């Protein structure tokens, strides 16, 4: 009996309790900031600041968008927003041009003469496919 084995699984090891190493670092840094704030501001401001900091830390540690962590998504967004852009194709609007009858006649004669255009008579794709199948 054959079984399909899942591949390309990404699993982060739980280092400290239910947290991965990255999550633990987020909460450790937030705890250190809250500890410093405790000694600098009154208790009401400390409680509000701690609630905001820990809420933001929980978002950064646990929220995933399309399988990517929030810091990765925000980093990619900033890199895209700030970084240079390369535009591959831009459509240029050209004015309508009227062609004289002489130019039309010259174009018609060039199209009728296949050697002037250098158009291949048959595609070599079938011949190449046959050569590949034989080898």
Asked if residue 42 belongs to a domain, the reply is: yes
Asked if residue 131 belongs to a domain, the reply is: no
Asked if residue 123 belongs to a domain, the reply is: no
Q: Angle at which helices 43-62 and 21-40 pack, to 10 degrees? A: 170
Instruction: Return the minimum-mean-pLDDT range out of 56-60, 86-90, 109-113, 126-130.
Output: 109-113
90 or 32, higher pLDDT: 32
Strand, helix or coil at 16? strand
Asked if residue 132 belongs to a domain, the reply is: no
- Domain range enclosing 26: 14-82
| Per-residue pLDDT tens over the stretch 21-57 | 989 999 999 999 999 999 999 999 999 999 999 999 9
- pLDDT score recorded for residue 54: 96
- pLDDT score recorded for residue 46: 96
Q: Strand 19-20 and strand 64-65: pairing?
A: unpaired
Asked if residue 111 belongs to a domain, the reply is: no
Please, what is the end-to-end C-alpha distance for the chain in angstroms? 35
Structure tokens at 98: 């009227």
Structure tokens at 17: 């309790």
Distance CA 61, CA 55 (A): 10
Asked if residue 51 belongs to a domain, the reply is: yes
Contact 54, 34 (CB under 8 A): yes
Of the pLDDT bands very low, low, confident and very high (cuts 50, 70, 90), residue 119 is low
66 or 90, higher pLDDT: 66
Asked if residue 93 belongs to a domain, the reply is: no
Give the total number of structural domains in the chain: 1
Asked if residue 60 belongs to a domain, the reply is: yes
């Amino acid at each position: 009996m054959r079984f399909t084995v899942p591949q390309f699984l990404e699993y982060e090891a739980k280092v400290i309790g239910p947290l991965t190493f990255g999550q633990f670092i987020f909460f450790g840094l937030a705890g250190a900031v809250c500890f410093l704030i405790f000694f600098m501001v009154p208790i009401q401001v400390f409680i509000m600041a701690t609630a905001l900091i820990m809420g933001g830390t929980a978002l950064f540690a646990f929220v995933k968008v399309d399988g990517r962590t929030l810091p990765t998504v925000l980093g990619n967004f900033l890199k895209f927003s700030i970084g240079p852009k390369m535009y591959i194709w831009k459509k240029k609007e050209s004015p309508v041009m009227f062609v004289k009858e002489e130019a039309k006649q010259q174009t018609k004669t060039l199209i009728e003469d296949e050697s002037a255009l250098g158009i291949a008579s048959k595609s070599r794709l079938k011949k190449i496919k046959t050569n590949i199948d034989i080898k």
